[in-house]
Structure 1
Amino acid sequence: MEVFAVEGLPEVREGDDLARLVAEQVDLRPDDVVCVASTVVSKAEGRTASFDDFPAGERARRIADRLGAIQGEEKDPRFAQAVLAESEALLLEAPFILAVTRFGHITVNAGIDRSNVPDADLLLLPEAPSASAAALCESLPADRVVVTDTSGRPFRYGQRGVAVGWAGLPASRDWRGEHDRDGRELEATVQSVVDELAAAANLVTGEGAGGTPVAVVRDFEFGDHAGSENLFRSADDDVVRQALREWTFGGDSHETDA
């Protein structure tokens, strides 16, 4: 398997044909997996916003004041309002905002970005990243697309690439019912393939000013396994989310509708 960044892409702006921009820079094969950062998908889809688009309500002001007191710096309540607007629910309001996006991804600040946005205050995640991936699949020579973002993980420092949308391949491959080298039947192993592809892509695309938003994974084989579209756990199936309902930070209760 080979993973390489796509060089030479211009700054992506609203209305750009992202598939065309990618195809102009790389000769794609049908079985390539094209991993595209959510940032450029959002820019092409016009998911930029101004702080003025989110006049702060009472709850947003309260969240901003609380975070400002905890972190020792003033917080703009309009940012908190933007997070509320982009969220189905908040799992935490302090010591940071942990949100459930409307398409099921759980991440800090609903994935709203304030970097690499030259013409706006905020960059929102795509509204429906898997639909965005499917649209790219229809226009690219490659048949498989993963829309990626970077996200932290419980119990570990640092961020890594994760999938927020995908098309052309299952989200996971299911090893249950297969056997290990000693003949034991696997009972629990479901491999999150799209996350692993996103993480591999993130190694070559990089971060910061030198980052590139698209990578190609070539010669990846899914193999003869059952596939699953499940990636985001439901609230009733997520023991961490259930534990957060009982956990408090300074007396707060959590998981509230946004």
Structure 2
Amino acid sequence: MELFAVPDLPEVQPGDDLGALIRERVDLRDDDVVCVASTVVSKAEGRQADLDDFPAGPRATELAARLGEIAGEEKDPRFAQAVLEESTEIIMEAPFLLTESRFGHVGVNAGIDRSNVPDADLLLLPTRPTRSAERIRSEIEADNVVVTDTCGRPFRHGQRGVAIGWAGISASRDWRGETDRDGRELGVTVQNVVDELAAAANLVAGEGAGGTPVVVVRGFEFGDHAGSDNHFRDVESDFVRQALREWEYEG
């Protein structure tokens, strides 16, 4: 398997034909997986916003004041309002805002970005990333597309690439019922391949000012496994989320 960045992509603007920009710069093969950073998807879809678009209500003002007290610096309640409007649930209120987005992704600050947004204050995540992946897949006539983002993880330091939308490829492959090298049957192993591909692509795309938001994964083989589009854990089986709902920050 090999990965390479699509070169020379311009700064993406609202309304740009992202599929055409990709297609003009790479010759795709059957079974390539095209990983596209959510930042350029959001820019093409016009998801830039200014803080003034989110006049703060009482709840946002309260959250910003508490976060500012914890951090020892002033926090803009308009940003907190943007997070509230982009979320279906605030799972943690302090020492940061951990939220569930409208499409099921759990992350800090509803995934709102303030980096590499030259013409606005904020960049919101795509409204429906899987729908975006389906559209890009059709535009570039690719077999598989994954829309990626970066976020932190419980129990680990730093951020890694994750999938927030996908098309063509299944989100996971199911090893249950197969056997290991000693003939023992696997009973719980379900591999989240879109997250793994997103993480690998992020190593090539880089962070900060890298400017290479589209990566092609070539030679990946899903194999003869059952596939599933189960990706975001449902609340009933998400015991960490259930515990966090009862937890209060005391720092």
TM-score of the aligned structures, taking structure 2 as reference length: 0.99
Separation (CA, whole Å) in 2 of partners of 1:87 and 1:245: 15
Matched, 1:67 2:67: yes
How many residue pairs get aligned? The number is: 251
Matched, 1:45 2:41: no
Separation (CA, whole Å) in 1 of partners of 2:23 and 2:142: 9
| Match in the other structure for 1:19 | 19
Q: Is the 8 A contact 2:205 2:211 kept in 1?
A: yes
Alpha-carbon deviation of 1:30? Answer: 2.5
Write out per-residue CA displacement over residues 199-223 of structure 1, whole angstroms, 9 at most, x where no aligned residue.
0000000011124111000011100
Q: What is the correspondence of 1:1-258 to structure 2 with a 5 Å cutoff?
A: 1-250=1-250
Alpha-carbon deviation of 1:151? Answer: 0.6
Q: Structure 1 runs of 4+ off > 4 angstroms? A: none
SS across alignment from 1:177: coil
Separation (CA, whole Å) in 1 of partners of 2:157 and 2:47: 29
Alpha-carbon deviation of 1:7? Answer: 1.2
SS across alignment from 1:150: strand
Alpha-carbon deviation of 1:141? Answer: 3.0
Separation (CA, whole Å) in 2 of partners of 1:10 and 1:149: 19
Write out per-residue CA displacement over residues 156-210 of structure 1, whole angstroms, 9 at most, x where no aligned residue.
1000000000000100000001100000000000000000000000000001112
Unaligned runs of 5+ in 1: 252-258
Separation (CA, whole Å) in 1 of partners of 2:246 and 2:188: 27
| Match in the other structure for 1:254 | none
Write out per-residue CA displacement over residues 122-163 of structure 1, whole angstroms, 9 at most, x where no aligned residue.
000000000000001111132100000001000010000000
Q: Is the 8 A contact 2:92 2:245 kept in 1?
A: no
Alpha-carbon deviation of 1:250? Answer: 2.6
Write out per-residue CA displacement over residues 215-255 of structure 1, whole angstroms, 9 at most, x where no aligned residue.
0000111000000100101111101001112211139xxxx
Separation (CA, whole Å) in 2 of partners of 1:90 and 1:83: 9
Write out per-residue CA displacement over residues 16-39 of structure 1, whole angstroms, 9 at most, x where no aligned residue.
000100111111113110000000
Q: Is the 8 A contact 1:42 1:123 kept in 2?
A: yes
Separation (CA, whole Å) in 1 of partners of 2:64 and 2:7: 39
SS across alignment from 2:179: coil
Write out per-residue CA displacement over residues 33-56 of structure 1, whole angstroms, 9 at most, x where no aligned residue.
000000000000000111111000
Alpha-carbon deviation of 1:83? Answer: 0.2
Amino acid at match of 1:196: E
Unaligned runs of 5+ in 2: none
Q: Is the 8 A contact 2:88 2:100 kept in 1?
A: yes
Separation (CA, whole Å) in 2 of partners of 1:248 and 1:93: 8
Q: Is the 8 A contact 2:161 2:199 kept in 1?
A: yes
Separation (CA, whole Å) in 2 of partners of 1:41 and 1:210: 16
SS across alignment from 2:209: helix
SS across alignment from 1:210: coil
Alpha-carbon deviation of 1:63? Answer: 0.5
Separation (CA, whole Å) in 2 of partners of 1:117 and 1:246: 36
Q: Is the 8 A contact 1:29 1:141 kept in 2?
A: no
Write out per-residue CA displacement over residues 85-133 of structure 1, whole angstroms, 9 at most, x where no aligned residue.
0000000110000000000000000000001000011000000000000
